[in-house]
Chains A and B, each alone.
Chain A
Amino acid sequence: MAWKRLAFIFAVGVPLLAVLAYGFTRDPREIPSPLIGRPAPAFSVRLTDGGEVKLADLRGKVVFLNFWASWCPPCRAEARALEASWQRHRGGDVVFLGINMQDREEAAREFLREFGVTYSNGIDGGNRIAIDYGVWGIPETFFLDRNGRITYKHIGALGAETIHAKLEEARQGVQSRREGKGEYQSIR
């Protein structure tokens, strides 16, 4: 009887504990994106300089798509690296496009002025583009290859090395298996 009871307690308790332990090792805030490797959702966005850009028009170019807001500290942290990378890659077949979301337009313009951003930036008024891209923790950055396919997604601040490496991969159409994560995010 004692043996049976013991065996029963172990048979129930050990798997339960194992599940609990496994759960503790996982990050409940991780949202693996199903979009990597898929065609990027189409959009057209109003730019801060008054123009308008359609994603379809950027076909044939490698697109660096960065979602940001002026109130987000990691966006500030990466802003210089982004501009520096743009200066390094501009003129080629690479397009940098910032999408401002969850923000006030004046604050966004002030941010662009402060960091001397020279690449195009669009204002995503209703966050529709962001939802279309499954954005949840800004900054989030998508790398698109020439065929408009998403090759890589990065959550959190980006460094110049990562940008360079992933642009190179996108140029060759190499697709990452999963998204990357910066050490610094605004929402966890």
Chain B
Amino acid sequence: MREIASGLRCPVCQNLSVADSSSEMAREMRALIVDQLRAGKRPEEIRDYFVSKYGQWILLSPPPRGVGLVVWIVPTLGAAAGLGGAVWLLRRWSRRKTAPLPPPDEAVLARIREAVQAGDSLADLTPEEARQVEALRELQFDYRAGKLSTRDYEELRALYESRAAAALADARRQRREAEALGPVAAPAAPAPPGAAPRGWRWAAAALFLVGFGAALGYFLPQSVRARGDGSPTGDFLTGTREEAARAEAPDLPVLLQRGRQAMDAGEWDRAIGFFRRALEVDPDEPTAHASLGFILHRAGHSDRALKSFERALARDPTSPPALWGKGLVLYESLGKTAEAIRTWETLLAQEISKEDRDHVLSILADARQRLAARPGPATRSPR
């Protein structure tokens, strides 16, 4: 059971397997797997059953077929390429290290040994020669102090001496070449080859950065979904809706009208943006509060809807939309029929269009009927 469940993705979790999830859905899926196994189904059949219901999505590891093959092949290729690259690099490095030094010239070697033993100043040597001689002296010192075995000492001395000899021979050759070329040509030579690639590199880096920035700027806003109030960035990353509302509509009547239009068009979050902006201008604007109340009521948040209507009524106790909405919440969501009837009666005392009046009257009749049919706590519901 665990084997099947751990290969299935829990549909109500974020990337948890059915085996690891404690959700009710996953628990029941596990129970289903157990039942099926008991009924004699093979694991592949059970897996196929889930795939037939949820699609390939349900499998944590896609089958190595079609597009799914890519996720199996690419990592393998990548690992092989990485391993191959590492082996290639290591071999290159080791080859460089073991590049054979030219057999030391006996005369030069003798001169070096003499310089090491002499122990006097190194002033008459070139800096490279001085460094090698210094190293040989240190090695000798270490050996005498008993820090090195005889074998190590011999080996290291041979290495250092041959290196020193090579450096000496090199230095001599260069000196000879420099004399042949003349003293002017030497320092100017190395500058040009380095300059051009460096320029290209900068240009490429700049191009890459610009491209990356553009791609980020284009894809990020597309990929981030809009959230409600809970998001720390609000709509900032997702199209700056409120920003737009701010720029477009500076004054209160326009904001309210835009909000109503958005509401009529069913664009609830846009409407909420406009009404919120209106409330920033005037925190007690009754129409904005009432409209937000309707949206909240529609979304099923009865308590918050009621609060919005109450705020609207606090400013304007006779606001028809707020009275209508408050009655609606009380009647439809909270079941406080008697209170709703009282609210609507207040509404009928206001000046409203005939159409609205008829509508309210018909709903009111329904409510009264319901109240009469179901005598209970609703009738007594106190304020």
Number of interface residues of B (CB under 8 A): 36
Chain A 123-153 interface 0/1 with B at a Cβ cutoff of 8 Å (1 = within): 0001110111111110000000000000000
* Chain B residues engaging chain A, CB cutoff 8 angstroms: 11-12, 24-25, 28-29, 31-32, 51-55, 57-58, 197, 200-201, 204, 208, 212, 215, 219-220, 222-223, 225, 266, 268, 298-301, 332-333, 335
**Residue A6 contacts which of B204, B215, B300 (CB distance < 8 angstroms)?**
B204
Contact B298 A77 (CB under 8 A): yes
A112 → B minimal CB distance (Å): 13
Residues of chain A in range 1-37 having any CB-CB distance to chain B below 8 Å: 1-3, 6, 13, 17, 21, 24-27, 31-35
Contact A76 B12 (CB under 8 A): no
Number of interface residues of A (CB under 8 A): 39
Residue of B nearest to A102 (CB): B24
Query: How many Å lie between the Cα of A182 and that of B341 in the bound state?
Result: 33
**Residue B12 contacts which of A21, A35, A137 (CB distance < 8 angstroms)?**
A137
Q: Does A73 contact B (CB under 8 A)?
A: yes
* Chain A residues engaging chain B, CB cutoff 8 angstroms: 1-3, 6, 13, 17, 21, 24-27, 31-35, 41, 73-74, 76-77, 80, 102, 114, 126-128, 130-137, 159, 183-184, 187
**Residue B11 contacts which of A35, A74, A126, A136 (CB distance < 8 angstroms)?**
A136
Query: How many Å lie between the Cα of A187 and that of B212 in the bound state?
Result: 33
A-B contact pairs, 23 of them (CB 8 A): A13-B208, A25-B223, A27-B225, A31-B11, A31-B57, A34-B52, A34-B54, A34-B55, A41-B53, A76-B300, A77-B299, A80-B332, A102-B25, A126-B28, A128-B28, A131-B29, A133-B53, A135-B11, A136-B11, A136-B12, A136-B54, A137-B12, A184-B299
Query: How many Å lie between the Cα of A22 and that of B205 in the bound state?
Result: 23
Query: How many Å lie between the Cα of A74 and that of B298 in the bound state?
Result: 10
Contact B215 A21 (CB under 8 A): yes
**Residue A134 contacts which of B53, B219, B266, B333 (CB distance < 8 angstroms)?**
B53
**Residue A77 contacts which of B11, B200, B300, B332 (CB distance < 8 angstroms)?**
B300
